[in-house]
Structure 1
């Protein structure tokens, strides 16, 4: 209808209408009448507002739920943002913080330059010869061991190849505003001086994320130094002087030494080895040699980058030879003498003497009658723990039930020891509690630094990702299926083990710094404890269960419980929400006791922790929930059957073989022979011992006598090498959990659990009770068996191992494993 067909209604009419030009009139209502909304329109508008508000609130709440997992706890950091800076903590700013490398150095800057060593044996028939860089069991080295390392100022390591030994020495010198200077001396020493061996050493410097700049100094075709600038280091210089030609000379002979260099660009730090390999070229060593000689190809910098960030000096010579690397900070203006040559040797000797004196003062091994080689073994075990401390920066990949896809945790630093340099060069939450039982004895400040870094990774729920895979180098070492961390999954709160002693020390010290540390630590521990006490609780009061078990898996004989740390240890065969896990209950009991002590010392409410501790250590309640009358042992409880096995899947009936898919999955699957029922899971082993391991069993209880009988029974846990992880009588002893996964916690001897066993035996041998003398006898025998076997295997193989064979005592698994296996030092020192 056109505007011309309408005329305004005459004045005086009450209703708001238009008059039509024809005979028919139509009344039109306007939303506004007398300047006010029509009631119907008001209702619609209000409904729209309500719906929009509900939708916005809903979507905001959903986003809130998705973001909870990546929301930090609202509490002051224990380690302030600048807590690792050279101005606040200069003594630990630089270090051998790249445990995955055979020899690597970096600072505690989030984008620190990295320096390190690669090497290869030249003049072989391999094309090219193996290039060593990251620790790798496949390299087949005879050993690589930090002989002495104090965790802060120096370290001496020996790396043993078949034909020669590499000695790496690292030494720091304080001064300036950026962590001071440091130097490295790298010596290549032939095992047979009469045999000609030619080796190339590649020492490199690389920037991370282009946060700085590098400039090489080339003199007569040789890389002699690198000057640079970095946002956290200021200006610096790395000198790489030529080696002394006489070092490798036989009488009357001048050995041949060759130099080459490589100046290039690396997008990521995990690509350094590949880039270097691509920069190699083949040359003739001399006229008398037919084998190829590999050298670096000089400058190769892509045109599309601002400049080089990866520089390498290659030195190739007949052994023996020694090279030096001297890092000097531009802010160290009053340097009296550079840390090299005679100065380096003198300071290193002094550091080693200080280390030896402190080691004896702390552990008293000479006083206890140990021989020199046994003491040197213990020094190596401690030094490998300290030399395996790394500094990482990055974010974890995490997921909650509200996230459809994994998301990134916030970026953060982590200063932590690692279990194994070749296999697990990253942080593990439950391992680190055991690590710090040893580290705190050597240097409690390092332990407090480590624990503070871990606690600062806590989110608002009180959850800490149990495996820390931070940065490109760490991520490159982890299979993809283990990268994502889930916030429903906890890990044993083992930090409460070292905290028991550390908190007492800090309370007694009356130092302002310790009081400040405790004040910052307490709210995080409180939230952490609440996380365990709520998310991991069972369906009935005072019970707990590990999350993360998958009931849908068909290829596992017994679904893994990775979160407990005891991976394939047999739990209930059919995971349900009403499982009861005795080990987790004991961990919560331990945590409640420590929380009570710290709360009381800070004048906080502590009675609730004391109540929880009393309930969880009450033996009557514990026995009601976890003592199996049939097996006469402490046990888990759940939906379980022992009668299951792995079998090859059968093809569908009446199907011809030619009809089967070519890629048919033929892995064995679990077949249940007897339906499960609710019952105690009577697999006797480490889990059964937890009320004993964490000293919850009453010293007068007959159940303690039964435990002592069981652990000393050779048909159950006792061996000449330590306590095996599960009884030889168990149906799960030595059984594969899948067709391809050999037994892990189903027989082998693990040192962390044996350490807890010794600690418990030491406790029960020192408190009044009818089994005091028996506990003392068992303690002496078990301690002797453990120390003797670990030392014997170290002497035989050159390594401390992840676990030990319960029949032969042979070291097995990852090596070197100088995480919790290094607790042998505390066993020798009888420190629990």
Structure 2
């Protein structure tokens, strides 16, 4: 090999080495770059995952207050006068003795207060909101059609009041209305001096311009404007029934609509109207608008007079251009008479109590019960406070309106989900359009999960009546889906009337009903297949003898003594059997697939499976199942031992706590009562089942549920019968007679008696006697006390709880009419 060849060989070798080194260097750089790239991608993915995680956590926190992704049942214009001018105005402030407003979010508020002068009380006894503490002898609507008029009678301790309102359609803002208020002393030998106060207040936007008489001593009218009403004027014409009334007024600014009474009291002054200054009167202070206020938003007209007395307050819409007559005096009387006559004719047509042998005073009672249900319909606007397990603090639900009846004007003047289904059993018989409207409002409150807050506390006035511990609604908690009961009646109404447009409403509600139904079948199912469990029970409580189940609607009815996820409840299972049947029926009507609903209904109404899960062979009854012992009692904790002389225990008077005397075990909760009856109440038991015979036999046993006044809620033989649940909580569903459940019992008895079966005659016998007992007692107590009550004492039949309670207790009208 020559030297040149050796040099070239070395150069090639060196070149290869250099190339290899370069390639290795480039490969290392490539690996580093790839590692950096992979690290960057990994970091980016991690970052995205972290962001997505926090976004998801944020979504979980927020979704409790996100509306469901389904078309609203109510159109956007539902709250406007154009949507329903006839029902735009109404007595939609049920918590007041007398008040009017429109079905719009920021309606001006009109209301009435009164006070009895010369009592010497400080402050004077001013009546405004319905309050049991006022001690009125009775009050309530005697006739109210939900559309045109209402007549109410109020009996105070020394005098009686009558409030009337009548509406007149015209213009483009809901027309006119007039309120007529009259009063007379209960004893003519003891005259009463009373102040009548009628007011208008703005809830938000609008203006008020008081118009004074030439001498400036009294109001003649108030001119106003608002977005919903345009221009309007409220007139205070002089009364012809008294020649010497004394007038005063208040023109001021109220920062909160739930403080109107307090603002009025703060604007009062004391006057002496006789030379000897022996008679002291409370009058209003005139114009008292704070300097920093934007202007008056609250105007009150006061008339003080010795009874008897009558006054009219006339509201006229500025858009009513071709008004035939002022709605006052004889014009008002004639129109009122016409509406009363129409009410009476319709009542006879719908309920036909005359043909059932009821007397005039009994029919008047039934009219009052219906009218108080209808007159207890309110319109509310605002947002609920809600919370899920992902929220440390409650959230505001979205602002929404709610048109709903209320259980009690004095104690529960707000919407309750499970009450509303019962309410509309009666309302739908009277006016199916009102029921459709109410159900639509409730379904439009559904969130993205399919949950509807079970208690609606919308607006400042509603919130002011609710204890703080009941304000926040939790999305795990259900309520019985009683709206299906009302939907069943609406379907029956359509089928009986052959209404060609009957499908439109059901098509509108069906998408939301599907989501609602699915929510129950995911959130309220039990651990064992085909079982259901109410959520919301407190497993950690030490103060309750038996932890309450508020979500079931039967509050303190005995359930498993030690709540666990493994318990299951027979009443909820039966509610879902009803729901699946209605979902199947509605799906068939609107042309949707009903197969899944039918399958679920078949499963939940299978008597063999029902018996396997809930029939207690030991007690021969249907029961809940759970971790339970009956051996519990409340005791006051003993002071700690070894206290030194003079040393006090940490708490000198601790509250009683529950002591468990024997270990609980998984078993049936054999407390016979309303819960045990649910397979019967919702007509799931087969007509020929021996278990139906056992239930019918048990119903008539006075040791169990039977009384001369109705079926008690818990058997006298049950361990917790009439027992306090805490040291301070008296029994609620532990013996008292409740009308809604008795109505279901009568409906079931009527069903089994009118369908061919082994026990139809037996069911008919029990039905007849129970119906007479219920109607007789409710009417007797109404005559004795002036009120329909929340529930009734199982030993004496006396009304108990709050009053007036013309929510589901007004179902007595349907019981009288035998409409189930």
TM-score tier after normalising by the smaller chain length: over 0.9
Aligned to 1:13: none
Instruction: Kindly indicate whether the alpha-carbon contact (under 8 Å) linking 2:239 and 2:310 is maintained by their aligned counterparts in 1.
Output: yes
Q: Distance in 1 between matches of 2:171 and 2:649?
A: 69
1:44 corresponds to 2:39? yes
Q: Distance in 1 between matches of 2:499 and 2:430?
A: 19
Aligned to 1:233: 229
1:419 corresponds to 2:407? yes
1:561 corresponds to 2:549? yes
| 1:661 shift after superposition | 5.4
1:582 corresponds to 2:576? no
Aligned to 2:728: 740
SS in 1 for 2:576: helix
Can you list the C-alpha shifts for 1:1-56, whole angstroms capped at 9, x where unaligned? xxxxxxxxxxxxxxxxxxxxxxxxxxxx99x999x993343233223312221111
| Larger deviation, residues 132-141 vs 494-503 | 494-503
Aligned to 2:464: 476
Can you list the C-alpha shifts for 1:454-486, whole angstroms capped at 9, x where unaligned? 000011111000000000000000000000000
Aligned to 1:431: 419
Can you list the C-alpha shifts for 1:425-479, whole angstroms capped at 9, x where unaligned? 0000000000000000000000000000000001111100000000000000000
CA change 1:589–1:124 in 2 (3 A) is same
Match among 100, 109, 112 for residue 104 of structure 2: 109
Instruction: Kindly indicate whether the alpha-carbon contact (under 8 Å) linking 1:793 and 1:800 is maintained by their aligned counterparts in 2.
Output: yes
Aligned to 1:807: 795
Aligned to 1:251: none
CA change 1:603–1:128 in 2 (3 A) is same
| 1:85 shift after superposition | 1.0
Q: Distance in 1 between matches of 2:675 and 2:504?
A: 37
| 1:698 shift after superposition | 0.6
| 1:81 shift after superposition | 1.9
Instruction: Kindly indicate whether the alpha-carbon contact (under 8 Å) linking 2:703 and 2:717 is maintained by their aligned counterparts in 1.
Output: yes
Can you list the C-alpha shifts for 1:110-163, whole angstroms capped at 9, x where unaligned? 011111011100012212321000000000000001000001110000010011
Q: Distance in 1 between matches of 2:780 and 2:285?
A: 46
Aligned to 1:386: 374
Aligned to 2:440: 452
Query: What's the TM-score, normalizing by structure 1?
Result: 0.94
SS in 2 for 1:127: coil
1:215 corresponds to 2:209? yes
Instruction: Kindly indicate whether the alpha-carbon contact (under 8 Å) linking 1:226 and 1:237 is maintained by their aligned counterparts in 2.
Output: yes
| 1:333 shift after superposition | 1.1
Structure 2: stretches of 5+ with no match in the other structure:
1-24
Q: Distance in 1 between matches of 2:407 and 2:148?
A: 22
| 1:695 shift after superposition | 0.4
1:485 corresponds to 2:443? no
Q: Distance in 1 between matches of 2:524 and 2:804?
A: 34
Instruction: Kindly indicate whether the alpha-carbon contact (under 8 Å) linking 1:124 and 1:291 is maintained by their aligned counterparts in 2.
Output: no
| Mapping of residues 711-790 of structure 1, within 5 Å | 711-790=699-778
Can you list the C-alpha shifts for 1:332-381, whole angstroms capped at 9, x where unaligned? 11111111111000000110011011001100011211100000000000
Q: Distance in 2 between matches of 1:159 and 1:393?
A: 28
Instruction: Kindly indicate whether the alpha-carbon contact (under 8 Å) linking 2:643 and 2:649 is maintained by their aligned counterparts in 1.
Output: no
Instruction: Kindly indicate whether the alpha-carbon contact (under 8 Å) linking 2:640 and 2:649 is maintained by their aligned counterparts in 1.
Output: no
1:146 corresponds to 2:141? yes
| Mapping of residues 336-735 of structure 1, within 5 Å | 336-506=324-494, 514-656=502-644, 658-660=646-648, 663=651, 666-735=654-723
Can you list the C-alpha shifts for 1:633-659, whole angstroms capped at 9, x where unaligned? 000000000000000011122124743
Structure 1: stretches of 5+ with no match in the other structure:
1-28, 249-253
Can you list the C-alpha shifts for 1:164-201, whole angstroms capped at 9, x where unaligned? 11100011101111111111000011112232210001
SS in 2 for 1:384: helix
1:323 corresponds to 2:319? no
| 1:665 shift after superposition | 5.7
| Mapping of residues 5-24 of structure 1, within 5 Å | none
Q: Distance in 2 between matches of 1:322 and 1:198?
A: 13
Q: Distance in 2 between matches of 1:781 and 1:67?
A: 53
Instruction: Kindly indicate whether the alpha-carbon contact (under 8 Å) linking 2:570 and 2:678 is maintained by their aligned counterparts in 1.
Output: yes
Q: Distance in 1 between matches of 2:742 and 2:492?
A: 25
Q: Distance in 1 between matches of 2:188 and 2:333?
A: 23
More helix by share: 2
1:128 corresponds to 2:113? no
Q: Distance in 1 between matches of 2:819 and 2:492?
A: 16
Aligned to 1:224: 220
1:831 corresponds to 2:819? yes
Can you list the C-alpha shifts for 1:668-688, whole angstroms capped at 9, x where unaligned? 000000000000000000000
Aligned to 2:153: 158
SS in 1 for 2:269: strand
Q: Distance in 2 between matches of 1:510 and 1:124?
A: 61
Instruction: Kindly indicate whether the alpha-carbon contact (under 8 Å) linking 1:436 and 1:447 is maintained by their aligned counterparts in 2.
Output: yes
CA change 1:375–1:288 in 2 (3 A) is farther
Query: What's the TM-score, normalizing by structure 2?
Result: 0.95
Aligned to 2:20: none
Match among 795, 806, 809 for residue 821 of structure 1: 809
| 1:615 shift after superposition | 0.8
1:181 corresponds to 2:176? yes
Q: Distance in 1 between matches of 2:76 and 2:482?
A: 25
Instruction: Kindly indicate whether the alpha-carbon contact (under 8 Å) linking 2:175 and 2:316 is maintained by their aligned counterparts in 1.
Output: yes
| 1:603 shift after superposition | 1.2
1:100 corresponds to 2:100? no
CA change 1:641–1:317 in 2 (3 A) is same
